[in-house]
Amino acid sequence: MRRPCATAIAAISMTCLATPGAAQSLLPLPQKLVPGAGSVTIADGATVSAPAPATAAARLLVEHVRTARGLRLTVTDAAARIRFEQDAGITGAEAYRLIAARDGIRIRANTPAGFVHGAMTLVQLLSPDARTGQPVQVAAMTIDDAPRFGWRGLMIDPARHFLPMPDLRRVVDQMAAVKLNTLHLHLTDDQGWRFEVKRYPKLTETGAWRTPPSTGGPAPTTRVGGFYTQDELRALVAYAGERGITIVPEIDLPGHATALVATYPELGILGDRPPVGNRWGIEPYLFNPGPKGIAFVKEVLDELTDVFPGTYVHLGGDEALKDQWQRSPVVQAQIKALGLKDEDALQSWMIDQFGTYLQSKGRRLIGWDEILEGGLPASASVMSWRGEQGAVAAANLGHDVVLSPGTPLYLDRVQSNLPTEVPGQNVVSSLVDVYAYDPMPAGIPADRAHHVLGAQGNAWSEYMVTPAEVEFHLFPRAAAIAEITWSAKDRRDLAGFLPRVQRQAARWTNGGVTVADSAFAVDFAVTGTRGAALRANRVPLTLATQAGYGTIRYTTDGSVPTARSRAYRAPLSLTPGVTVRAAAFDAAGLPTAAVRQFDTARAALLRRGSNDLAPCGTGPFGLRVPLTPDAPEASPAFNLNLFNTCAVYPAAPLDVAGGYRVEVVRLARNWALGHDGGKLRQHYAVSPHGELLVQFGCAAATKAQDAGDKTAKPVAIGAFPLPDPASAPQRFTFEGTLPKTTGDQDICFQFTSPVSDPYYAVASVQLTERR
């Protein structure tokens, strides 16, 4: 039975499709869709023909349809069911027209990129559902489509954790599936130099490798890292180009230069040779802007531009603390000789040198928004990450800009507060948050709007060790970035987007990609305190999903919920001991995420994992870090506040619980805090390696102390000396008793370990019932 037009394509908000399923297939939304009469069926063995400019697009169509639908299409020189046709009347570098009629499907464009985008739209039309291998009836329609913005990108950071070439190619494939067209590669940083420079072979012989940080015990000696040869990168450029994607390389200067200085100390400031960095954050090492350094960068740019033919070259410019320049008589003399005001002006001068050089080679320089601070050179474009202010300022000065604000487009941030989140910045940037963002800042007037090139999401890899973790952070949020940069703002609609992103997630999964289900997964919350639930012997439980999509269905008998299981309508009231298993199901009865569960047993209600604990004081945990910083396989993740290693068990029922067992993990102290080092809260230790203090009132005392009240003191419950990290296991436990009192009270777990030792975090706290 066909649904009414408004229901079928509320997502597209234009005209009615002949088949309702097509509306849930197109992502990003096309600019214009006009329905036709009838339909065309595409079955296994259907033929495809293409002129020379469309041969790559035809091949991609065949590959993606086989993966997404299980249909085998055949490329032929004869008359075909699916035809690519060159049409000079279609203007725009990425524009295309798709015509589906009773006699077949035609994709018209005038550029290879246009053909690719048309092919990817057809892939989606040919895989509207999960019925693998079945013929597809495509409604007659005409789609005229072109992007809103020319820069629709993702940034991958192989400098912190090296990403092998096959994994990069897989990301490229899945970017093309949603018409993303720019892959920004962050190729150098303190922790690694990944681009082969033939004039300077030590950059990759030495600078591409580092030793992992210590978590205690003997210092690691096995090197980790890797690099890309120029031939490998040329092949990647060609591979991406066939998929309509341009690669923007980044060499980060003048900061984030430890790997460079470790390799060629004469290109640094002090002449010392640090090891290649194995800490995250901001290191002090800067590039030397003297004549030798300027010549070096130009030689690197010669080789870089020979490998990467795209218009833009990214030269970083972010987080360059100027202390080394300030302390160098040679650099200070250079500032004076150039008649510059200060170190920020020197960075601006340096950027201008490289921007002019790139212009002479027909290229354009782009950098992070810090390059504005000393005055923006005429040759530079800006990528704004510290909010939108940099983009607004640069665009109003007549410079091109790319929007990439940390909130919400930093994709290394976690997507939810679920315990299944992989390591990352412990600030939620959800799929819904990304979709709600518009890349056209209000502060840019209409006559300057053309300077906004587009937007991109950035996936910094400090905490993403494995390729699967990188993909988990990218997908499905890449779909939201694709739609906000391709589709017209007034046609976007979250309710319509969610079923379409669900279908695209299934295609990505079929392509071997790890896709996060955070936005659609069921989360559980006990109404009120757990102590109240235990006293009443009833557990009031609410179930919800982040996106609010689908119908939540649940079981309490241990079985896996299905589309026929009981629908969640109101908070549950359960006797302790029941395990609730739940998932949301879409209108077709398909689960939107993996089943999650919540155990209401009394012991389970008294347990708090890392994700259930709260930070002390006013600051957040900040990070979700892996147990092993460089493990080749995924390792457990734990919440950590770099400045105060303290966690709170909220509202512990002290009339119910009589004891506790706390599991502690030791984590690498591998953060370079730069000028924020003074914010570290150092607690007085009364044993060689500090203690774990178990206290009442610690969080309130911390807040009071933050406000200047030094008289506030927590109440001690227990104190446990921490073992020598050189010989102790990385995970261990302490046990203690709780004083009997009434009601609920927060329990604080504070570590007093010296800042020279590794970090500690609470992995879990299990309270035991009073006997």
Residues marked active site are found at 189, 256, 319
> Which SS3 state, helix, strand or coil, does residue 486 take?
helix
Nearest to 120 by CA among 242, 247, 246: 242
> Which SS3 state, helix, strand or coil, does residue 716 take?
strand
Strand partners, 452: 401
Nearest to 215 by CA among 631, 658, 619, 567: 631
* Beta strands, E only, 518-634: 522-526, 539-545, 551-555, 566-567, 572-574, 579-585, 596-599, 607-609, 614-615, 623-626
Which amino acid is present at 91? T
* DSSP-assigned letter for residue 419: T
Longest dimension (CA), the chain: 87
Q: In 141-226, where does DSSP find H-type helix? A: 165-176, 202-205
Mapping DSSP onto H, E and C, the string for 44-88 reads: CCCEEECCHHHHHHHHHHHHHHHHHHCCCCEECCCCCCEEEEECC
In this structure, are residues 308 and 230 in contact, taking their beta carbons and an 8 Å threshold?
no
Nearest to 160 by CA among 597, 567, 460: 460
In this structure, are residues 486 and 182 in contact, taking their beta carbons and an 8 Å threshold?
no
The residue to which tokens 């096995």 are assigned: 222
Which amino acid is present at 141? M
Length of the chain: 771
In this structure, are residues 416 and 521 in contact, taking their beta carbons and an 8 Å threshold?
yes
d(CA 264, CA 202): 8
> Which SS3 state, helix, strand or coil, does residue 380 take?
strand
On the question of a cis peptide bond just before residue 476, with omega within 30 degrees of 0, the verdict is: yes
d(CA 758, CA 747): 23
The residue to which tokens 């088949």 are assigned: 19
Give the β-pairing of 572-574 and 539-545: antiparallel
The residue to which tokens 């339909």 are assigned: 39
Which amino acid is present at 424? G
d(CA 69, CA 44): 10
d(CA 10, CA 29): 11
> Which SS3 state, helix, strand or coil, does residue 186 take?
strand
On the question of a cis peptide bond just before residue 467, with omega within 30 degrees of 0, the verdict is: no
In this structure, are residues 220 and 212 in contact, taking their beta carbons and an 8 Å threshold?
yes
Give the β-pairing of 192-193 and 188-189: antiparallel
The number of beta carbons lying within 10 Å of the beta carbon of residue 732 is 15
> Residue 241: what are its φ and ψ, rounded to 5°?
-60, -40
Report CA-CA distances (Å) from 78 to 83, 97, 98, 221, 488. Answer: 10, 22, 20, 61, 38
d(CA 225, CA 239): 23
d(CA 658, CA 740): 7
In this structure, are residues 612 and 651 in contact, taking their beta carbons and an 8 Å threshold?
no
> Which SS3 state, helix, strand or coil, does residue 711 take?
coil
Q: Token digits for 58? A: 């035809």
